[in-house]
Structure 1
Amino acid sequence: MSSTVNEQTSLHQHDEHREQSGETLRLEALLQHQTDVMEMLAAGIPLQEILTHIITWMQQSDGEMIATISLVGQASAHPGTVCCTTPLTGKQGNALGSFEISYKSGRQPTPAELHFIRLVARTIVMVIEYSQRTTPTAIQMPQSRPVTQESAAERENFYQLLMDTPAVIAVLSGPQHVYILANKLYMETIGIERSIVGKPIREALPELADQGIFELLDDVYRTGQPFIGHEIEVGLDRKGTGVREPIFFNFIYQPIRDAEGKVIQILVHAIDVTSSVMQRRKAEQSEQQFKSFVAHSPTPIGIYVGRELRIRTVNDAILQAWEKDASVIGKTFREAVPELEGQPFFDILDKVYETGETYEAIEEKVMLMRDGVLSPTYYNFTYKALRDEQGEIYAVMNTAMEVTEQVKARQLLAEAEENLRNAIEVAKLGDWKINLQTGEAVLAERIQAWFGASPGETITLEEATACITDPSILTAAFQRAIQPGSDRIINVEYELTNFRTGEKRIMHTSGKIFLDDASQPHMAIGITQDVTEQRQRQQELERLVNERTRALSIANIELQEANKTLEKVNNNLEQYAYVTSHDLQEPLRKIKIFSDILQNRTDHTADIFTRKYLNKIDASVNRMTALINDLLNFSRLDKAENTFVLTDLNLIIEEVKEDFELAIKEKKVILTVSPLQQIAAVPLQIRQLFFNLIGNAIKFSRQDVTPTINISGHPVTATAISTHPQLNPSWNWYEIIVRDNGIGFEQRYAEKIFTIFQRLHTRDVYAGTGIGLALCEKVVSNHHGKIFATSIVNEGTSFHILIPIMR
């Protein structure tokens, strides 16, 4: 609270500084204007014209002001409501008239403005009295003509004008600047009783020697150019002690010329502004201290001025809270923080400015930018109206403290407590608390019900203990937990009997011992759960496990027997493979030989019928031979050698190209192979893979299109491999693509084509056994990889092989 008061005080001092700066400017203008008025008087300008000039000057100095001078015997011509009337009283106490001021807004003048108005009134009095003493003819400056009785009177009137002017006035004559006149204010300003008239200024005021004043006077006398000083510091020995006292002046050194235009005198016309300068400096110091306080305060602070609430002062803390920089200074609050649109804060600030009622918020939610994202934050903040000396609101000060972390922590705590309550309820737990020093216990209703208490009934700790089958189990658990050096954790199971129903339950109790300030066991807090059903299920599970263990032992024996049987089957399959490769192919070779003999012997004599069936016998023998060979190749893959070696894929493809040399030439196949990477593989199986894929591409080419086959490969990223769950993502993978422009197939058959004996075309159109692609799938599987196909009918097929580079 005291901090806020200090800030308010400093802000008032700032406004005093602002007011004092305005007063200094007004005094400086008054000094210049007084000089103008004296020149008008010396020139014989009529009184009414001079008064009109003063009114015009006053109203121009403040566009809101309305000024009127009413002389004695004249009615007031003021059209508005007069807020300030200053009597115009002569030196003899006689009434000369009144000086009336009002403001278009209806406001009252500030104290500084009142002081200024009184100074102007004194100037008006001086003008009126001087005009009453002189004739309307113009006054020539002294010594501009031979001295006569008339000119002496005029000079006297002029000097009297200077003496009556409400300013510090002196006239210095000649190059030595000899005082020929110094008015009362001048004498009061220089202090002590000095006799200065008739003395040069260097003799009269020797303390000015090192302050540049003499040099300024010399320069004005020499050049004839006036000098205007603003808040010039002059050190004067006002008490005659030899100690100079700093005085600040706004002044004019105005040259006075004779009839030939030669400078003969200097008019010193000054106003003492020491008070305003010192007050301003004090205000500046206070303002600087306040600005330093605001700038270095860890608390966000902002000051928004005027009805528009334009940002005048902000510190780094509030800029960081807004995620803004100093460019917001000068903008309205709405312009600076547009993300608050739709939130209540603009309206609240408007209301504070309109009513002056302070708004204080506690843990208010504010949506602010955090890392470029509009996020919820929480603040304790205050909007406080600031008032000027007239009590008018001119700004709103915003102080704040972010409490987002505290609010979120409390929300998390509340959520955790709610979750704990829900967990206790869902898990059917009962909480308890025991004062270990008094023995007082607080048991949840659910716990009391387990012991047999009716709803609303309370049982004591002794009554509950009596229901436990073996109380020593629970006592021992507590004793262990309170021992010095223990973890103070209670974890125990025991059996109890409901004293009302006789029902037995198995309970599990968990808790912790808490120590007092003397490190003595003070409180035990924990939860208890009925685990009767869990223990029953556990016992049942143990029984089932034992039974299954016995069953697994029997199954293991049966598995060993099955493995022996499987081994015999594998031996039989090997025997079958031998028979297939040797015994079955032997009759086929003889059939082939006998068929060839018959065809050769009947080449010219056989009729058409005989030749037709001999050709069919020959074709069937060839198909049977191919089928047996493909089956043998496929069966060998099941017991293929597992010797993986670094394999050059480019070399294997070159060998396969030689196998298809005649077919490639016959069909004019264009086969291109990009350089492929070496991989760890079984070379013979990889050769079978490419043999079948290239053979398929040649076989299923289109008749009216030149066959093209392109083989390429590239490493595969871990991200791409992750789309194939069956592949190990920790290995390095390589993709091989075999692409052709053949007849293609419908994509819905993409998986079906890898099934053994599966064909999409009849043997009459495309020869084959239906084993080739199944063999390819088997080879890739043996290499722990994957093969799949994409195809478009009459455009071609691409086979994709994903295979590890090294395992």
Structure 2
Amino acid sequence: MIAFDSYILSVLHHSPQATAIYNNGELNIAYANQGMLDIWCADESIIGRTLCACFPNFVQEGFCSILKNVWKTGITYNATEVAATIVVGDKKIKRYFDFEYKAILDEKGETYAILHTASDVTERKLANNRMERQREELSLSYKLDRLASTLSHDLKNPLSVLKMGNDFLLKNENLSVHVAKRWYKNFSESIQNIESIINQTLQLNKVRGSKNMADCVEVDKKIGEWINEVKLNFPEQQIEFQLGHLYSLNADSGAVYQIFVNLIGNAVKFANSKGAYLHIDSEETDQGIVYIFEDNGIGIPEDELTKVLLMEVRGSNSSHIVGSGIGLSLVKDLMEFMGGTINLSSAIGKGTVVRLFFPQSVEDC
């Protein structure tokens, strides 16, 4: 086994991809190849020390917190074009990276190592930013107009039911109670469908106004109200809500409401039947505030994490649960329009972790 391990480490040492291995929950650096040392602007003297002790800026920027959560949950974390500050002497250099924190599990399903791989994509990110600025408004306007047209088209069906039923009742005044009740039930269902369609349209068009409408949202005071609203819509679902320290956010209050209610609603809707929980916490980094939503629900297939952020796309394991596939797309649009980001980590049967980054400081409120 020792020879095999030496062989593997030799391969990793010559790999062009930056690689590091952490072998305990305190993030002890058991191995780092030259590619990773170059990214960190460090040398081999850091081997055997903890990542948090060697790089305090990684603690401040939230990377150590993410890694510790990967160790705890065993759920691999992937991210693309994430900003990180590299400290070289007295200089701080902002770079962008694609990276993966791969949880390595033993036969009991417990984490015994994390494999960290990374690529510096700064030049790609800066080029993409230039292109994105040029097409952002056009792209968002197109997406909203397309969805508004689709939803408007969908209104025709429930409206037709209401019109048909109204005409039928006007022409047949002496109906039996049974027939009348059946039509009233149809009316009720149609009205609920119309309300749902209108709410979705209003939610998505609200994105247009989410810039330049920032105010102080005291999440710790609002969260109970939002949770109760979701619970009213899912009275049969039993789930425990675990709340950590919730920082206030300097953002549009309507957008924050939509984001939180959608994510809380997803956790409740896709909860497992026994011992279900949703843990909501937040932390401050140098560049903003991160909100973490961690549940133990049905999870999302790992190869579908990017797809489920697209409009009207749902996880392949959620077809038995009613939904539109709009919620996560709406959250992504709102976060990006406010200059933030959303990241999903998930595993089937283990749950989902959603991280929201709001670019601000606590002093903004």
Q: TM-score, normalised by structure 1?
A: 0.24
Relative contact order higher in (CA < 8 Å, ≥ 6 apart):
2
Greater C-alpha Rg: 1
Q: TM-score, normalised by structure 2?
A: 0.49
